Amino acid sequence: DRKLTKELCDVIDDFSLVNFSTLDIQDKESVGNLVKLIDKSNGYIFSSIDSSAVEFSKIAAAPLDWDYYRTAAVQEKYMKDDEIVQKTSGMQ
């Protein structure tokens, strides 16, 4: 039982099957970005297009919003510069 759980966790970790993202429920842009990310993750973005390879490639090749940039945008909006420096340098 524990071995199966460990192996399952390893697969989830190896293939990045679980991700975390930021959300400010009062910010429309934040909610919209999360909805886009969820739709892309579960394949919903492909539900409304034809089965042509061109349409699939347009969506699949769309630029990614990397975790680093999403996190940086939240830090910039909600944290003061000195808080960011303390967190990144490990000082408190």
Please determine, for residue 84, whether its predicted confidence score (pLDDT) is greater than 60: no
Separation of alpha carbons 76 and 6, rounded Å: 37
CA distance 78 to 81: 10
What is the distance between the terminal CA atoms of the chain, rounded to a whole angstrom? 41
**pLDDT tens for each residue of 47-83:** 666 666 566 566 556 666 667 777 777 778 777 766 5
- What is the C-alpha separation between 63 and 58, in angstroms, rounded? 10
**What is the token pair recorded at 30?**
């934040």
Instruction: Write down the H helix ranges in 1-92.
Output: 2-14, 28-42, 53-60, 67-78, 81-89
Domain ranges across the chain: 22-89
pTM: 0.51
